[in-house]
A and B are shown apart, each in its own frame.
Chain A
Amino acid sequence: MATMTLIQAINKALDEEMARDDRVVVFGEDVGKRGGVFLATEGLQQKYGPERVIDTPLSEAAIIGAAVGMAAHGMRPVAEIQFADYVFPGFDQLVSQAAKLRYRSGGQFTAPMVVRMPTGGGVKGGHHHSQSPEAHFAHTGGLKVVVVSTPYDTKGLLKSAVRDDDPVVFMEPKRLYRAIKEEVPEDDYLIPIGKAAIRREGRDITLISYGGSMVETLKAAEEMATAGIQAEVIDLRSVLPWDKDTVLNSVARTGRVLMISEAPRMASVASEVTATISEELFDQLLAPPVRVSGFDTPYPYAQDKLYMPTVTRILNAAKRVLDY
């Protein structure tokens, strides 16, 4: 088994899917010769040629729109948007078109496509290279939205996304690209979209997170353990659909819940999850669900460390939930 970073797992998943199915094509800005600005597609053009690993003109609307067309026409496009912040020129194609093609064609056409994008902060990117726009997509029935946090999951989830019959937005926290290494099997394994992972078992409180914030969430859980508090940690892995069963089962046992995400708070995934918990488990809760999130502001360059949920912020919020 090879040890891999998250970015290597992406590369491996794409490589394997391209080898398995020649309908799979990879395209986007700078993905070919350069191998992408983060090198997610490094070496793929050399291996599969410029017809299957395509440097496109600089247009997100054309990239996503063309992906919809190619997908409807029997291909399996995997488009890269250079940064999640730059998906917006292609937002219409994704939200109004890809998401609705099946519905508006009476099921005649579908858009089995993947739109990959580096997301989130923590790399000193400022307001145009750090946003976490998953809630925009989670608000759109017809899309699936995955946010990865480990190399192992990344390979299995990306392969599932490529094989999915609906459009999948695949979000990759860029600060994790090279931050974690773990063993990733060589074989062809899939991780189902919509299934959360329990990263740590515990009975005192449930910590729910996904994507980049998983790092701080797990660290906080470790610190809590040294103080004798056993936190259960759930990684949602996909935010549309999200794994209600796993979440509700856990919170029904612990009675206390904290949801952590670096995205802005208003109308966020964290809001949806905590609202669902309140609705479904109101009488079993020992404390109100609490969110630790980014702020409802542009992502600040200089105050990067303050904006993102830090271990201290998570611990402080957890204390409030535990002391309630």
Chain B
Amino acid sequence: MDTVRYLDDDGKPLRDIPLSEEELLAGYRALRRARHFDERALVLQRQGRLGVYPPFRGQEAAQVGVALCLEPSRDWLLPSYRETAAAITFGMPLSKLILSWRADPAGWGAPPEVNMVQFYIPIATQVPQAAGVAHALRLQGKDAVAAVFIGDGGTSEGDFHEGLNFASVFDAPLLVVVQNNGWAISVPTQKQMKVQRIALKAQGYGIPGVTVDGNDLVAVWTVARKAAARARAGEGPTLIEALTYRVAPHTSSDDPGRYRTEDEAEAWKKRDPIDRMRGCLLHLGLWDEEKERALSEELEAEFVAAVEEADKASEPRPWEIVEQVYAEMQPDQQAAWNYLHGGEA
């Protein structure tokens, strides 16, 4: 099975690029914006100003390329914890994302114009739900698609299979994007499954499966755009395997030294999605150092403002614990609420 690629490892186009100059520039900007967030988030984490944080370094193109072909107020995004880059590109305010990774409830929930469900932590649970979202879109006659993300490890869970089967049986307008980043914490993809290509699993559901170079933004964008068009046309789901690499630790609490050497990560860093996209822009004469500097300044200013905004969020009040359990508070929650207002436990 071939891997779809448009750029070589340096970003030089291997064939005609089916994206406009504006799109290429917007794509690069989206990659840089995500990377900037990731780098600065890790600094905040080390300062104790974020909770446990799952970095996505090296996986930006695999996420940004999908998010760019979705329309946030029409389509739907169901991300796992790994997909902060997809969330950023899809329009989630950075301040919300900072709060979210502070595990502050003020960061949960998206603005009304962004159809994103809060990051999923229990592995693969998002897949059957995405099948349901997509099925609902179809039943309601909406011209919209859903995109769900999962990791290579996540494909071993029953929910992955059950969700894909459901979606395919009903031709649900769904993009299932597997970021094959080589690792599920300490378990390499080769030990996770016998199949060589995750995209081959699509055959089991009678749907198309595509393997794409996940560090090639042009390739991911093009493949996802095609899958979305197919879904919109009522032809059902597509399984997209984005080949990429988790160059960073699993989360800020992980120590990869316990289970891998870094040579593989070093090799992948040479295929960095952002360097490649910049290479592409330079090759096409669309970019220069001046633009790069201006973009860095703009992104830093945006991040600083987002942190300021996030810092304004007030401490969650004790009784908020019970306020969002039911539409109407039930007796057991009422008892807790009374206690948290100074009553007896």
Interface residues of A (CB under 8 A from B): 29-30, 32-35, 37, 55, 57-62, 85-86, 88-89, 124, 126, 128-129, 265-266, 292, 295-298, 300-303, 306-307, 313, 316-317, 320
Q: CA of A33 to CA of B320 in the docked complex: distance in angstroms?
A: 41
B187 CB-CB contact with A under 8 Å:
yes
A59 with B158: CB separation less than 8 A: yes
Most chain A CB atoms below 10 A, which of B186, B318, B322, B333? B186
Asked whether A297 lies within 8 Å of B321 as measured between CB atoms, the reply is yes
Query: Closest residue to A90 on the B side, CB-wise?
Result: B158
Residue ID in chain B nearest A305 by CB atoms: B318
Q: Which residues of B contact A (CB under 8 A)?
A: 51-52, 103-105, 121-124, 153-154, 156-159, 184-187, 191-193, 258-259, 315-316, 318, 320-322, 325, 332-333, 336, 340, 344-345
The interface residues of chain B lying within 8 Å CB-to-CB of A316 are 344-345
Check A302/B104 contact, CB under 8 A, given A33-B258, A59-B156, A61-B158: yes
Partner of A295, one of B185, B315, B333: B333
Contact of B121 among A58, A89, A128, A265 (CB under 8 A): A128
**Contact in complex: A265, B184 (CB < 8 Å):** no
B316 and A297 form a contact (CB under 8 A) = no
Q: Are A86 and B123 in contact, with the CB atoms below 8 A? A: yes
**A40 vs chain B, min Cβ distance (A):** 13
What are the residues of chain A within 8 A of B51 when measuring CB–CB?
124, 126, 301
**Cross-interface CB contact of B156 among A37, A62, A313, cutoff 8 Å:** A62
A-B contact pairs, 20 of them (CB 8 A): A30-B186, A35-B258, A57-B187, A57-B192, A59-B158, A126-B103, A295-B336, A296-B332, A297-B321, A297-B325, A297-B336, A300-B320, A301-B103, A302-B104, A302-B315, A302-B320, A306-B318, A307-B321, A316-B344, A316-B345
For B320, list chain A residues within 8 Å (CB): 300, 302-303
A62: which B residues are within 8 A, CB to CB?
A: 156
Contacts known (A30-B185, A317-B345); A59 close to B157, Cβ less than 8 A: yes
Residue ID in chain A nearest B340 by CB atoms: A306
A298 and B325 form a contact (CB under 8 A): yes
Q: Which of B156, B325, B340 has the most CB of A within 10 A?
A: B156
Q: Is the CB–CB distance between A124 and B103 below 8 Å? A: yes
**Once the chains are docked, how many angstroms separate the CA of A165 from the CA of B266?**
49
Complex contact B158–A29 (CB within 8 A): no
Q: Taking the nearest CB of chain A, how far is it from the CB of B81, in angstroms? A: 10
Of B184, B259, B322, the residue contacting A297 (CB under 8 A) is B322
